[in-house]
Amino acid sequence: MASNQSEQDAPLDIEQIDKQHVFGTWAYQSEVSPTQVVAGDGVRFTDADGNEFLDFSGQLMCSNLGHSADKVADAVTEQVNEGAYFAPGYTTEPRARLGQKLAEVTPGNLSKTFFSTSGTEAVEAAIKIARMYTGKQKIISRYRSYHGATYGSISVTGDPRRLMAEPGIPGVIKAPDPYAYGSTLDPMESLEYIDEMLMLEGDTVAAVLVEPIVGSNGILVPPEEYLPRLKEIAHDHDALLICDEVMAGFGRTGEWFGSDVFGVTPDIMTMAKGLSGAYVPLGATIVTEEIAEHFEDNMFCHGHTYAGHPVACAAGLAAVETYQEENLIEHASEVGEYLGKQLSELADDHPSVGETRGVGLFRGIELTKDADGRVPFGQRKDKISKGSTVVDDVSSAAADNGVYVANMINTLIIAPPLPITKQDIDEAVGVLDEALVVSDDAMES
Ligand code: PMP
């Protein structure tokens, strides 16, 4: 009895319980050691030991509003109290108004949305809609891309995360991508390759699917002419252009969407992450008026229990209104330019920084073990993540000094909440300046 009592009084070891009972994502479970976080405030969050971190990556490049968006929190509470869930056959004010709002903030004649709960589901819907609309099956996507973890979206994903799911769904063809720093192919030549692929496939390709600015595969910004020309090429072959805006959307680039950076209206656009500012799970797939019209007399064969969940839509509506009311897109553009300058200056002082690149508050620092040869640091043992542990070591060094920065392959991914200030940026860049000594020291002599 006494020992039971003391067991009850002992504080729970949340990290240990979690490690035992919850899968860590994309990881050897023996290597997973989650840190318990307990609070978020503005652009910062705090762990259970009271350590505070400046969030320089917006968690998984999704907390675009930071951790104190009261309007979103209030909208969620209100909707839960008024009626948390009604079936998709009913509508609610948040759902209808968010659909209208997305038609307003997305480019061109994108007008009708299917709501889901994640980026991967948004991509699944895009693939099915493209197939239903065109009556064709094939999808061209690119190698350096990530589109989600479920079977369709992992099949169109090009990075090594796809490998264990291969051969994946039929009809997916991979194309080269615009990666000026690390590929032997010139970005615009890679486009002509896609043109040739479309020609050789005959009239069988439903859509070309791209991230307008590649996110987790290294923040790859194509030349200005790339996306407009890609749309032209796709349309010349009667294929649709799908832009996956899950990471690039909602102010990340200093524009509403990555497509806006290039003045392009895709035929289908996918969204998630910043759509709700990450307050609740929410994904969306928006299509043009022509595609929407097609489904007047052709069945829209798709749906989920939680399609258009009222609480998620209330959060989404409040999030989009917050971007507007607080002028966060303009702010991201302004501080994003400042961030870009600070990062290039940082690069000058660190031989292991091969390149810094990006737009707005969407930036990457690619590390190299040999700057002249652009040689990446070594491969991991599993090949799935294909980077090196050096980039992890740099992230850890930054975390030890109070800055959270995500990474993938050989690139540190900088994508802070949009409300970040120049002062916060100076603080984080100062910490990165020290952390990058780790990769400088790991270079080949
Ligand atoms: N598309 C892109 C461009 C992404 O970056 C991601 C997630 N990182 C996804 C799709 C999948 O989103 P989710 O993890 O919400 O399923």
- Residue in this structure with the two tokens 């987790």, named with its chain if needed: 216
Question: For residues 289 and 74, is the Cβ–Cβ distance under 8 A?
Answer: no
- Is the shortest distance between the CB of 229 and ligand 1 below 6 Å? no
pLDDT one digit per residue (tens) for the chain, 445 residues: 455 555 567 888 999 999 999 999 999 999 899 999 999 999 999 999 999 999 999 999 999 999 999 999 999 999 999 999 999 999 999 999 999 999 999 999 999 999 999 999 999 999 999 999 999 999 999 999 999 999 999 999 999 999 999 999 999 999 999 999 988 899 999 999 999 999 999 999 999 999 999 999 999 999 999 999 999 999 999 999 999 999 999 999 999 999 999 999 999 999 999 999 999 999 999 999 999 999 999 999 999 999 999 999 999 999 999 999 999 999 999 999 999 999 999 999 999 999 999 999 999 999 998 878 788 887 554 555 555 789 999 999 999 999 999 998 899 999 999 999 999 999 999 999 999 999 999 997 5
Going from the Cα of 219 to the center of ligand 1, the distance in angstroms, rounded, reads 14
Which residue's CA lies nearest to atom 10 of ligand 1?
A: 147
- Is the shortest distance between the CB of 244 and ligand 1 below 6 Å? yes
**CB-neighbour burial class of residue 258 (10 A; exposed 0-12, middle 13-18, buried 19+):** buried
Query: Which of 57, 247, 411 to mutate for ligand 1's pocket (most ligand atoms within 8 Å of CB)?
Result: 247
What does pLDDT average to over the chain?
95
Going from the Cα of 326 to the center of ligand 1, the distance in angstroms, rounded, reads 26
Which residue's CA lies nearest to atom 1 of ligand 1?
A: 147
pLDDT value of position 8? 65
Q: Which atom of ligand 1 is nearest to the CA of 119?
A: 12
pLDDT value of position 161? 92
Q: Which atom of ligand 1 is nearest to the CA of 149?
A: 16
Q: Could you give the CA distance from residue 405 to residue 427 in angstroms, rounded to a whole number?
A: 13
pLDDT value of position 409? 84
pLDDT value of position 1? 46
pLDDT value of position 402? 98
Going from the Cα of 233 to the center of ligand 1, the distance in angstroms, rounded, reads 25
pLDDT value of position 7? 59
Structural domains of the chain, ranges and CATH numbers in brackets: 2-68+327-441 (3.90.1150.10), 70-325 (3.40.640.10)
Q: What is the complex's ipTM, to 2 decimals?
A: 0.99
- Is the shortest distance between the CB of 147 and ligand 1 below 6 Å? yes
- Is the shortest distance between the CB of 408 and ligand 1 below 6 Å? no
